[in-house]
């Protein structure tokens, strides 16, 4: 991953007027899709920093899933770094990917969702305020990050639902890695929770065809129609593969 710094290692606050003017011409625009914890001043900073970072760290869609995820990660980490420089703390990134088109209020109360339109596509990332900075309760919740590694046959709305369900289910209880049996059982329980929520909302549930530790890309090896979800938790990095058409 590239350094999150901008312009010869300087945070955005060091940009010259010419640099600021250059950024404004690059066709990148950011918006707060859901304000969540961010007040008006923070929203303005989130928009400006996102536009800067996605300009200097373009999302690369020409190198497959790995290139896309890596470059999107560079851009979002740049945002977090520069916010930390500005505020003295940084939000928690809990998800990122293509802009789902909404609804954006499914990620939980107090969540801020940022959308960024760039020449290579429309992107979104989801931020929460850490307990130390925002005073959120967070009691009994496991800190997890979810992302769509391969959308497959899922519609944008279904992809958004699955990410939201994975966030909810894996936040309730972490994967137990004390032994193989507990690992398989607890991971299966969390995935089963996701499938049940799909059935509750859609009236049917996808098939889970594979699960385990996160594998390296490419993720289309599971089939072009496979939907692959990644979950980072304190216990490790996990993935599960769903079939929505069978």
How many CB atoms lie under 10 A from the CB of residue 79?
Answer: 28
DSSP characters over 144-190: -EEEEEE-TT--HHHHHHHHHHHHHHHHHS----SSHHHHHHHHHHH
Q: Which fold has domain 138-246?
A: Protein Inhibitor Of Neuronal Nitric Oxide Synthase (3.30.740)
Predicted TM-score (pTM) of the model is 0.48
Pick the CATH number of 27-131 from 3.30.360.10, 3.30.740.10, 3.30.70.1710, 3.40.50.1220: 3.30.740.10
Region(s) of the chain under CATH 3.30.740.10: 27-131
Q: What is the pLDDT of residues 66-117, one digit of tens each?
A: 778 888 888 888 888 888 888 888 888 888 888 878 787 777 778 899 999 9
Average pLDDT over residues 108-134: 84
């Amino acid at each position: 991953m590239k350094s999150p710094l901008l312009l010869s290692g300087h945070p955005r606050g060091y940009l010259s007027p010419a640099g600021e003017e250059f950024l404004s011409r690059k066709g990148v625009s950011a918006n707060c899709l859901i304000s969540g914890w961010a007040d008006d001043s923070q929203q303005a900073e989130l928009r400006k920093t996102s536009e800067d970072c996605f300009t200097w760290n373009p999302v690369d869609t020409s190198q497959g899933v790995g290139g896309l995820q890596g470059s999107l990660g560079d851009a979002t980490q740049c945002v977090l770094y520069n916010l930390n420089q500005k505020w003295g703390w940084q939000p928690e990134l809990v998800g990122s990917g293509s802009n789902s088109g909404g609804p954006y209020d499914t990620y939980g109360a107090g969540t801020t969702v940022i959308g960024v339109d760039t020449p290579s596509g429309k992107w979104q990332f989801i931020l929460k305020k850490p307990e130390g900075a925002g005073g959120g309760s967070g009691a009994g919740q496991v800190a997890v990050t979810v992302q769509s590694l391969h959308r497959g046959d899922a519609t944008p709305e279904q992809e958004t639902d699955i990410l939201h369900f994975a966030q909810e289910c894996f936040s309730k209880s972490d994967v137990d890695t004390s032994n193989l049996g507990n690992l398989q059982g607890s991971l299966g329980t969390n995935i089963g929770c996701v499938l049940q929520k799909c059935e509750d909302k859609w009236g049917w549930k996808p098939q889970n065809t594979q699960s385990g530790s996160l594998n390296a890309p490419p993720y289309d090896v599971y089939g072009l129609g496979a939907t692959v979800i990644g979950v980072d938790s304190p216990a490790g990095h996990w993935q599960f593969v769903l079939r929505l058409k069978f």
